[in-house]
Amino acid sequence: MAFIRDPRPVRQQILSGLKISAVLIAVGATVLLLGPYIPVRRIEAYIWHLRHGNSIGIGQYRVPVPKYWYVWPMEGNPPTNGVLMTDLNTGDGISAQQSDLLKGRTLSEWSEWVSRAFATSQTTKKTGQRDYRINGETFRCLEEDFDNGPKLGHLYSIECLSEGGLEVQFMTGLGVGRGHDAAFYSLLQRIQKL
């Protein structure tokens, strides 16, 4: 392969190279300035839903994943053993994992054990308890209120555990309050046992 010599004068060749460099620098600067405004997590969530659908398998359960929720595996666990999901619109979060919290205990013993921990806590209070029967299996849910002081306010969470060992925890976004509890319980009731 032989090189073909550019017939243009050297001055024109240099000016052409400078123009190309200026365009590349302008494109690079634009990407650096606008990069933080690109909704990367939304794009990743969209791609995740295209690849996996609207649910994920965790152990012997199929957990629904709402649209616009970002999903990633828990650190140190394979994706089938635990995931974290975040609502990109509200900041609400759900973790779901196969758990060994029961370890031969009943759901009543587990909830009493957790309630005793809340009783000694200065910042966390148990505010309610609900039982659901989902696909023939009991899920016990404990509603909690974390007082983070006057600057951050209260965070509300719901911790659920099934007889089969599926642990699902819901945490509202900052400043949301209890407004999304019904949506979480609706999602919980759509869990399927495989």
Higher confidence at residue 79 or residue 26?
Answer: 26
Q: How many CA atoms lie within 13 A of 181 on its CB side?
A: 18
1 located within any domain: no
Residues 103 and 74 in one domain: yes
Instruction: Say whether pTM exceeds 0.75.
Output: no
Residues 131 and 161 in one domain: yes
pLDDT reported for residue 152:
66
pLDDT, tens digit, 9 for 90 and up, residues 9-68: 888 888 888 899 999 999 999 888 887 777 788 888 889 889 989 999 888 899 999 888
Closest to 88 measured CA to CA, from 68, 63, 65: 68
The Cα–Cα gap between 167 and 137 comes to 13
Host domain of residue 80: 40-193
4 located within any domain: no
User: Residue range 70-96: average pLDDT?
Assistant: 80
Helices (H) and strands (E) in the chain, counts: 5, 10
Higher confidence at residue 111 or residue 38?
Answer: 111
Full strand arrangement of the beta sheet holding 154-162 = 69-73, 82-87, 93-98, 166-171, 154-162, 137-147, 124-134
